[in-house]
Amino acid sequence: MKQTISVLVENQAGVLNRITSLFSRRAFNIDSLAVGVTDDPTLSRITIIVDNGNSVVEQVEKQLNKLVEVIKVRTLDENSLIGRELMIIKVSANKSSREHIMTICSICGAKVADISPTSMTLELSDTPDRVSTFEDMMRPFNILEVARTGVIALQKGGGKI
């Protein structure tokens, strides 16, 4: 089972390094890491996905709260968050396979980002499970390249970090 930690930090050089160092010093693996500026350009949100089978998570949270640049830390329960991952995938495509690829895209909610005589580049933003399923559906078409972001997440409802 995975645990999602959302960290609101000051948007400064070196903050990400100090945060990831807390995990690496404890030999604790990060499954996914996504960082981006918020609506306030002085703040960034870091979304960290870790395996929650380790009690170190609670300790890391306490250590994160001690860092000067950290504004707030919140562990988001799987049922109380909206999480999305973006994938851009390039597959081989010819006249005969394009229609089948487009049908799968339509069913999965993917968009065509680029098309050439020999390939199609598709994008999908969805839950990690659905992104993985879409990637599996594209395998028969010969995947040429794949880029996946880490999960970004927000708490459901009126609460905020």
Taken in order of first residue, the domains within the chain and their CATH numbers are 2-76 (3.30.70.260), 82-153 (3.30.70.1150)
Q: Which residue has the tokens 């880490």?
A: 150
pLDDT of residue 53: 64
| Residue of 3 and 54 predicted with greater confidence | 3
Say whether pLDDT at 138 is over 80. yes
pLDDT of residue 70: 92
Contact between 53 and 103 (Cβ < 8 Å)? no
Contact between 16 and 46 (Cβ < 8 Å)? yes
124 pLDDT band, cuts 50/70/90, is very high
Contact between 44 and 37 (Cβ < 8 Å)? yes
Instruction: Please compute the mean of the pLDDT values over residues 104-123 and round it to a whole number.
Output: 97
**DSSP structure class, residue 11:** -
Q: How far is CA 6 from CA 74, 99, 112, in A?
A: 5, 40, 31
Read off the pLDDT of residues 11-58 as tens digits, 9 standing for 90 and up: 999 999 988 888 888 777 888 899 999 999 999 999 998 876 656 677
pLDDT of residue 61: 84
| Residue of 59 and 35 predicted with greater confidence | 35
User: What are phi and psi for residue 105, nearest 5 degrees?
Assistant: -60, -45
For the chain, give the number of residues.
161
- What are the DSSP E strand ranges found in 93-131? 111-115, 119-126
